[in-house]
Structures are given as C-alpha cells and as structure tokens.
C-alpha cells in the first residue's frame, strides 16, 4: 500500500546497518554493456556474495524473466530465494527501497532514480525498469511504501540509527540529481524520510567514483559515534587530498547526540585498472558507460555489508587486503569477517555494499 504521509510523521526512521536484519536483497546482473563476457563472471561474483550472506541470514535475489532459470540454478543454496523482478542493472542499494522502522513494523521508502545523473552524466540512457524496482521489492516483502518525490540513491547515505546521517556534497548537491533543492531543503527531506536530525556533509567521495562520490565507498558508521574512513598516505594517490578534506570535516563535526566522532582509517588498495581484455569483453552501446584500461577504478574496503553476526567485505588480491581485514575485525570484534573477491564487481562500477540492500527487523 502506498502511504501518503512522510515516515517521520508516522514515527518511522532508518535503523543503522548493524541493527538486526530480516534479509538482504540483491539483483541478478545481466547487462552486457556493463558486465563483461555476457555478465557470466559478474554472475559468479554475485553468487559468491549471496552465498556468503546466506550463512548469516536469508537473501532474496531479483532476476528478470529471461535470466530467472539461470539465476535459480546458480543460487540453489540454503537461505537464498529468487523472485522475478525486471531491472536495468544490478545495483540493489540504489534502485531498491530504503527500509524504515517504527519498532513494530517495517516500511519501504521508494526514492526517485535517474541512473546517477540522468541526461547530465547518467550511466545509461534508459532506467524505467530500475525506477520500478523499489516498489516491486516492497510488494514482495509485504511492506507499505512511501514514494519520495526527489532523486536519491541508497549508496549516497549512511546513518547511525540515532539521528545522524553522513553523505557527500559531490553527490547529493550535484545539479544532476535535484537542481531545484538547496542543502537546507535536502536536510529537511532527509529528516522527513529517514528520521535524522543531523547531516554531516563530506566534500567529496573517492576519485573517479562514477556515482559522483557515494559515501558508502569512502566513509560509514561502524557504531554510534564511530566512523571508518577510506585513507591513503601516498601523496601521489588521487584520493590523498579527498581523504584529508573528509577527515577535517569529521573532526569539526558532532553527531545528533553531540558526540565527537572517532575515526578508523581504512587503507585503500593500490591503484586498480581494468585490463584490455576485460574492457574488450564489455559491449559498446550508445548511452552506456564506456570501459577503458586507463580508467582508475574506485576500489575500497569501506564498501562492505553488515549482516547478522557478520561482515561481508571485498578483497582485491592486494597487499592491503590483510590489514584491511584486520582493521575490520578490530572494529567488529563480535562479528565474523568474510572477505569475498571484489574485482569483478568493481569492474562494473561498485562493490558489495552497492549490490545489496538490507531489510531490517521491525
């Protein structure tokens, strides 16, 4: 059922990601102008992520009618179910709903979606199927739904569940999202739809992040009053100044409870580029994002997912994999840390957090 009020009016807010979850949602990849070699390597990578999550909680994967049987076969695993949902691409964090709770029931917020920029930098020419994904997921979940009349992607926000939201100016204030809305307008809307009272604005996300700097690739809450921030000490890394600018904002900020924020510095992997062969495996279609071997890929260990009792994080075959996993265990001592290969997902433009969306317990 579509609810005409706003979540805050009804006593709903977005829980932190570490709150207990009912399930995680994913979408089966098939877009051959984004995923190489007929999307088969991506499907294998998504399957590995789904199976890792299913060790902790149920996973529901939306697949198109043409891919349903293939997805069902690959995902025939305890705790994983496949439902028929058409989509333009497989980024459940951004096209799926954001779930909110009042402590008794869960509802879905259905944001507007324009493929990360619409006609001004969007990553594909048509996104009409993606615009309907959130409503379909809400229906399958049996959740009432709020329809927000402004563009927002789930990867552009993180919350602490206690009134604080973190985002980037690069994304939310980008004129290719909501040019008619000011910072104050957006803060009001984020409060209305997510129940937050404090917004922390980082200047930018990671360099060459094709989402225009989603915060879930560079910084997120790991506990009330605690953040993890992607970090490099290499002045030659194009993220060097970006990380420091973000830290400067965080150090001057307080959360909604008035607390100073503790920051954990998560090392970034070494420079990652696609190979010539990987790029050649992607179909070239007018209106879609080109893939070239000279393009810096925005790899990050911050793009992880919290699940019940666990953390699913990417690894890249990089020297930073081990210290990144060690820091993750330090931040989440009571959770099992599972590192899953992330390169194939990164080749498509994101990582584990981008391809998943948690549905909290009431």
| pLDDT tops 90 at residue 289 | no
Nearest 5°: phi and psi at 213?
85, 45
Give per-residue pLDDT as tens, 43-102: 999 999 999 999 999 999 999 999 999 999 999 999 999 999 999 999 999 999 999 999
| pLDDT tops 90 at residue 303 | yes
pLDDT at 191: 98
Nearest to 14 by CA among 164, 132, 145, 148: 164
Q: Which domains, and CATH codes, for the chain?
A: 2-360 (3.75.10.10)
Mean pLDDT of 281-302: 90
Give per-residue pLDDT as tens, 141-180: 999 999 999 999 999 999 999 999 999 999 999 999 999 9
Cβ–Cβ < 8 Å for 54, 356? no
Whole-angstrom Cα distance, residue 36 to residue 20?
35
Place of tokens 């379909």: 136
pLDDT at 257: 98
pLDDT at 129: 98
Residues 6+ apart with CB under 8 A from 4: none
What integer best gives the mean pLDDT of the chain? 97
| pLDDT tops 90 at residue 285 | no
Percent of residues, the chain, with pLDDT higher than 90: 97
Give per-residue pLDDT as tens, 108-122: 999 999 999 998 989
> What is the DSSP pairing of strand 305-307 with strand 310-315?
antiparallel
Count Cα neighbours of 359 within 13 Å in the Cβ-side half-sphere: 24
| pLDDT tops 90 at residue 41 | yes
Active site residues: 354
Whole-angstrom Cα distance, residue 91 to residue 253?
31
Whole-angstrom Cα distance, residue 261 to residue 360?
25
pLDDT at 190: 98
- Is 136 strand, coil or helix? helix
């Amino acid at each position: 059922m579509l609810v005409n009020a706003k979540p805050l009016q009804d006593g709903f807010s977005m829980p932190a990601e570490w709150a207990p979850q009912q399930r995680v949602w994913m979408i089966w990849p098939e877009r051959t102008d984004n995923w190489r070699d007929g999307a088969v390597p991506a499907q294998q990578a998504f399957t590995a992520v789904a199976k890792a999550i299913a060790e902790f909680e149920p996973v529901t994967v939306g697949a198109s009618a043409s891919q349903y049987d293939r997805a069902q076969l690959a995902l025939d695993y305890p705790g994983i179910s496949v439902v028929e949902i058409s989509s333009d691409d497989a980024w459940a964090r951004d096209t799926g709903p954001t779930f909110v709770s009042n402590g008794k029931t869960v509802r879905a917020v259905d944001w507007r979606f324009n493929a990360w920029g619409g006609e001004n930098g969007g990553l594909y020419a048509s996104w009409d199927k993606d615009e309907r994904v959130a409503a379909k997921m809400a229906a399958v979940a049996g959740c009432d739904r709020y329809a927000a009349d402004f563009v927002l992607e789930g990867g552009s926000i993180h919350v602490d569940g206690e009134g604080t939201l973190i985002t980037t100016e690069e994304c939310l204030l980008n004129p290719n999202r909501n040019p008619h809305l000011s910072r104050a307008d957006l803060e009001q809307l984020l409060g209305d739809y997510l129940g937050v009272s404090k917004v922390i604005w980082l200047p930018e996300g990671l360099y060459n992040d094709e989402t225009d700097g989603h915060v879930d690739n560079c910084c997120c809450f790991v506990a009330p009053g605690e953040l993890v921030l992607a970090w490099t000490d290499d002045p030659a890394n194009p993220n060097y100044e970006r990380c420091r600018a973000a830290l400067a904002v965080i150090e001057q900020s307080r959360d909604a409870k008035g607390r100073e924020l503790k920051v954990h510095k998560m090392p970034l992997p070494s420079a990652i580029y696609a190979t010539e062969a990987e790029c050649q495996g992607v179909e070239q279609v007018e209106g879609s994002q080109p893939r070239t071997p000279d393009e810096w890929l925005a790899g990050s260990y911050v793009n992880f997912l919290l699940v019940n009792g666990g953390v699913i994080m990417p690894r890249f075959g990089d020297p930073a994999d081990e210290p990144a996993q060690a820091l993750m265990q330090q931040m989440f001592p009571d959770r099992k840390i599972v590192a899953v290969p992330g390169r194939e997902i990164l080749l498509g433009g994101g990582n584990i957090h981008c391809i998943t969306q948690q549905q909290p317990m009431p």
